[in-house]
Structure 1
Amino acid sequence: MGSYRIPLDAPNIGELEKEYVLRALESSYVSAAGPLVAEFEERFAAYVGAKYAVATASGTAALHLALRLLGIGPGDEVIVPALTFIATVNPVVYVGATPVVVDVDPQTWNIDPAEVEKAITSRTRAIIPVHLYGNPADMGRLMDIACRHGLFVIEDAAEALGATYKGQHVGTFGDIGIFSFNGNKVITTGGGGMLVTNDSILAKRARLLVNQGRALGSFEYEHVEIGYNYRLTNIQAALGLAQLERLNGFLAKKRNFAAVYRKMLGEVSGISWQEELPGAESSWWLFAIQVDPGKFRLDRDTLAAKLQKAGIQVRPLFLPLPRQPAYESLQFKPCPVAELLHARGLCLPSATFLTKEDILNVCQVLLDR
């Protein structure tokens, strides 16, 4: 949390987590072999409404596995949104495929289905929609596009555990969904992720690949294909089980905080935020605003400096993929909506251990001009 009196986000760890971790320690199962991993997978699958869940070392690992499972590789194109954390696109490059970056919708800030449709070529194999900051993407239109063009859909729900679209949990619409349990996510295992699917064959192969490709149930160290050390540990699963029990409380807090922000900032000229689609319910992992300097009279950077000086941690939106130095050689096409959102966007404190008074304090500092 550093020196900030009101941090952006951080783990909410309590006595329940200590009890579960101690249980793991006392069992002597501390590494990847242990009963709590399977228990965590089962409970997680039940929560989101998927048939199968496979725990992984990170959300990035889960996304990499998803691409491997679907046979995506050299010569294939995968469509991704311009406004996302770089981990969405890195695994596409890991498997040798070509990322195709498209612009986002100005209201939801998520991948724009119209831009997806325009970007499809004979080489397109998959779409990776991201539920940015917990806000569900337009899965109805995206699944329709994928169905008409015969494309795979891998949902990047790393930031969106608990978010729903028309009553269904995000991450369960496509062929595969992935989640992250990094320290700042809705729930944490200190690091780690989850891959979910309704396909038993994909799930079985995922369990093979996370364990170095070792044959399941084999007495010998027999490895039937090249896999990865992508397993979650028993201690991490213990932490995840405790966090999963507290998830509904975490989501209620984040949604309450978002309601406070919207009420306090709703009449302020020049301030706007992500809009939820009809039938969508965001997890509000982070509440982010867009600052129009012409109307608000302060630009994003000036406002950020003011909040930070007051001990309030804020962060810009993700740098759009066309601006990432690591991908300069790919020469992604310009994405003006993503660029404008980044130039004006600021993430505000949303940690679940904060209080309503903390959120009101952020609003007061923000509005004190």
Structure 2
Amino acid sequence: MRLNVPLLDDQELAAVGEVLASGYLTQGARTARFEREIAEVAGTTHAQAVSSATTGLHLALVGLGIQPGDEVVIPGFSFPATANAVIQQGATPVFVDIQRSTFNLDPGLLESAITERTRAVMPVHAFGLCADMDPIVAIADRHGLPVIEDAACALGGLYHGRGAGSLATAGVFSFHPRKIITTAEGGMITTDDDALAERIAVLRAHGAVRGELFMEFVEAGFNYRLSDVHAAIGSAQMRKLPMILHGRRTRAAELTERLAGLDGVHAPVAPEGIEHTYQSYVVRLDDDIDRDAVIRAMRAKDVETTLGTYGMHLQPYFRARFDIADDALPETTRAHHQALTLPLYPQLTDDDLDTIVDALRDSVATSRREAA
């Protein structure tokens, strides 16, 4: 049983076929349509398609003027692309610990991480659950800092009625096959800032502005565009978005119900007013359970699982460069070792859910004996 299976059918095949038949494959009318569809869901004025969420984060940083030597505050617990985008711009990521219950950046620790070199804050909506954005934005505003939502997993997520991607200066979504919808590879930057949107539009296309007869190059830009082939897949996926979100939330609730009472396993939570997308269903295991042994045991039962995501300070590159002690980010360190991602997608059946829970129950019991 796989972690995730994208919901694809003849609609995506037909959409790609139409693009191929048109002979216009690069960024064009279908990309523009896809952008409008994402902007509507996010609730923003602008949505600009890019080649991935990673390039989207990088473009947002460039567009906001982040320079070498600047600092950008991020949570310690995320896929390394969050930090990589900062480093690619020559800036320094400053890691802040997370809340145990949500896996998101702890707003109570944000203020102390801000220095005279801080130029932006970039919270992550872990696994599709919006970070607690109101206090994060309030703190950033007091310091005159822009906020970029790493909303890679959170398309369709809501924070007190507002869409993920609309909660700060800019937001960035991912359309990797494990995300809410997929374009195979791709991303989107959302914002209500007209000037930022205009600059990103130039930067993502080689720094070019199209004139009457030809282009003029006004920036040292990038080739971060999304093709119409990918965008056509995205638009077909967007027609399924309500069904996908409903299916994920329904299956997550059913899985949580089945996990109730399973000793040592803590199901994901969504604070009041925040609607989770459940891009990933991530449980936390008690410290006396060997999480890696659980992954191996589940694999032996033909159920794919993995870690939640990465304590970035524990990865070789970041460890060597920043030398952050484990106890400096205690909740991030714990989550790296004890968070477990279980299969979740709308196509799962009731029998599949029972199989997941039965396999997890047996694997946890075995791992406890091995750890003792």
Q: Provide TM-score, normalisation by structure 1.
A: 0.94
Distance across 2 between alignment mates of 1:175 and 1:216: 27
The answer (yes or no) to whether the contact 1:109–1:274 under 8 Å persists in 2 is no
The answer (yes or no) to whether the contact 2:15–2:236 under 8 Å persists in 1 is yes
The answer (yes or no) to whether the contact 1:101–1:332 under 8 Å persists in 2 is no
Moved more, 169-178 or 333-342: 333-342
SS in 2 for 1:352: coil
Equivalent residue runs for 1:122-271 within 5 Å: 122-217=116-211, 219-271=213-265
- The residue identity in structure 1 corresponding to 2:230 is Q
Of the three residues 308, 326, 332, the one matched with 2:324 is: 332
The answer (yes or no) to whether the contact 2:311–2:335 under 8 Å persists in 1 is no
Q: What is the aligned partner in structure 1 of residue 100 from structure 2?
A: 106
Distance across 1 between alignment mates of 2:352 and 2:212: 54
Distance across 1 between alignment mates of 2:15 and 2:175: 16
Check if 1:13 corresponds to 2:17. no
1:273 deviates by 3.0
Moved more, 326-335 or 8-17: 326-335
SS in 2 for 1:267: coil
The answer (yes or no) to whether the contact 1:181–1:188 under 8 Å persists in 2 is yes
Distance across 2 between alignment mates of 1:77 and 1:332: 16
The answer (yes or no) to whether the contact 1:187–1:240 under 8 Å persists in 2 is yes
Q: Quote the sequence identity (%).
A: 38
Check if 1:84 corresponds to 2:78. yes
SS in 2 for 1:105: coil
1:331 deviates by 2.3
**Deviations 1:244-292, CA, capped at 9 Å, x for gaps:** 1101111111111111121011222211133212210110101011111
The answer (yes or no) to whether the contact 1:76–1:97 under 8 Å persists in 2 is yes
Check if 1:318 corresponds to 2:313. no
Extract unaligned runs of 5+ from structure 2: 366-372
Distance across 2 between alignment mates of 1:136 and 1:355: 27
- The residue identity in structure 2 corresponding to 1:304 is I
1:217 deviates by 4.2
Distance across 2 between alignment mates of 1:232 and 1:239: 11
- The residue identity in structure 1 corresponding to 2:282 is A
Of the three residues 66, 86, 96, the one matched with 2:90 is: 96
Moved over 3 A (4+): none
Extract unaligned runs of 5+ from structure 1: 1-5
- The residue identity in structure 2 corresponding to 1:356 is D
Alignment coverage as a number of residue pairs: 360
- The residue identity in structure 2 corresponding to 1:18 is L
Distance across 1 between alignment mates of 2:11 and 2:301: 33
Equivalent residue runs for 1:321-360 within 5 Å: 321-327=312-318, 328-332=320-324, 334-360=328-354
Check if 1:305 corresponds to 2:299. no
Q: What is the aligned partner in structure 2 of residue 31 from structure 1?
A: 26
SS in 2 for 1:222: strand
- The residue identity in structure 2 corresponding to 1:25 is L
Moved more, 347-356 or 112-121: 347-356
Q: What is the aligned partner in structure 1 of residue 111 from structure 2?
A: 117
The answer (yes or no) to whether the contact 1:135–1:274 under 8 Å persists in 2 is no
Q: Cα gap change, 1:251/1:144 in structure 2, threshold over 3 Å: closer, same or farther? A: same
Check if 1:282 corresponds to 2:266. no
**Deviations 1:210-244, CA, capped at 9 Å, x for gaps:** 11011134522421111111000010000000001
1:39 deviates by 0.6
1:329 deviates by 1.4
SS in 2 for 1:177: strand
Distance across 1 between alignment mates of 2:76 and 2:25: 39
- The residue identity in structure 2 corresponding to 1:44 is I
- The residue identity in structure 2 corresponding to 1:16 is Q
**Deviations 1:52-95, CA, capped at 9 Å, x for gaps:** 00000000011000000110112211001010000001111111
The answer (yes or no) to whether the contact 2:259–2:267 under 8 Å persists in 1 is no
Q: What is the aligned partner in structure 2 of residue 3 from structure 1?
A: none
Q: Provide TM-score, normalisation by structure 2.
A: 0.94
Distance across 1 between alignment mates of 2:23 and 2:300: 47
Distance across 1 between alignment mates of 2:85 and 2:42: 24
1:7 deviates by 0.3
- The residue identity in structure 1 corresponding to 2:321 is S
The answer (yes or no) to whether the contact 1:156–1:177 under 8 Å persists in 2 is yes
- The residue identity in structure 2 corresponding to 1:164 is L
